[in-house]
Amino acid sequence: MNTSNFDPRQFRQALGAFTTGVTIVTTRGQDGQDYGLTANSFNSVSIDPPLVLWSINKDSSSAQAFTEGSHFAVHILATDQEALSNRFAKSASDKFQALELQRGPCDVPLLDGCSARFQCKTTYQYEGGDHIILVGEVLAFDRFDKDPLVFHGGGYRRLLPAETPGQEHASIDENGLGSLLGRAPEALSFKEAQQLKSLIGRLIQHTGAELPAYWRTDNAWHNSHLWQQLDGAPAAR
């Protein structure tokens, strides 16, 4: 098949159908500076020996630090680390400013608060088109009891547990949810309020998400007649 006519934008959108985790990869450059970037190309390679891989764009300002470095660390981000992901996704010199860091082999910076963390020795490097694929041997790892941040269709997502048999399911799509959240509680029908309350309760319970500001007022959350008709409303955050 001739791929020369691929539309890069459509190709990227097709790739976005694959849901991934979100990571920050860090290293210590030969210039003595810390480097890090957000990446979702991380994957496991082997259990024995323990190997993982990720890839970096050849045009990245951090590419030389990673390809010339002997070690790197991969941090699988937690659901409350969107802001940190955005910080490391940008080209900036102050990514590590005000962050509490630990140090791994060769002074590789280690971030806190993630779901899991892998300290790696760079073992192999491969040419991969406009990227360089780096394979690392895992020297040490940490696993924390925190739900991971995920990425799908060009945006961040959070995991929700699968519905159990007999569990009531609120059938409403993402656009519908956004529409409901943009309206005052008093403007919703009883059925809409019930669906919205179920979804909000699950989001708060399982992801730590917060309500929009205009839903956090006592009047809107506690005193609305719609919410009073429904038992077990989740507490406002």
Give helix 174-181 / helix 190-207 axis angle, nearest 10°.
Answer: 100
Q: Is residue 235 part of a domain?
A: no
Helix, strand and coil percent figures for the chain, each rounded to 5: 25, 30, 45
Q: Can you give the pLDDT at residue 171?
A: 47
Residue 39 in tokens: 């990446």
Asked if 103 and 217 sit in the same domain, the reply is: no
Question: Domain count of the chain?
Answer: 2
Confidence of residue 32 (pLDDT cuts 50, 70, 90): very high
Q: What is the pTM of this model?
A: 0.68
Domain of 208? 168-228
pLDDT in tens, 186-218: 666 666 666 666 666 666 656 555 555 555 554
Q: How many CB atoms neighbour CB 223 within 10 A?
A: 11
- Three-state DSSP class for 18? coil
pLDDT in tens, 135-146: 999 999 999 988
Q: Can you give the pLDDT at residue 157?
A: 81
Asked if 148 and 97 sit in the same domain, the reply is: yes
Asked if 76 and 176 sit in the same domain, the reply is: no
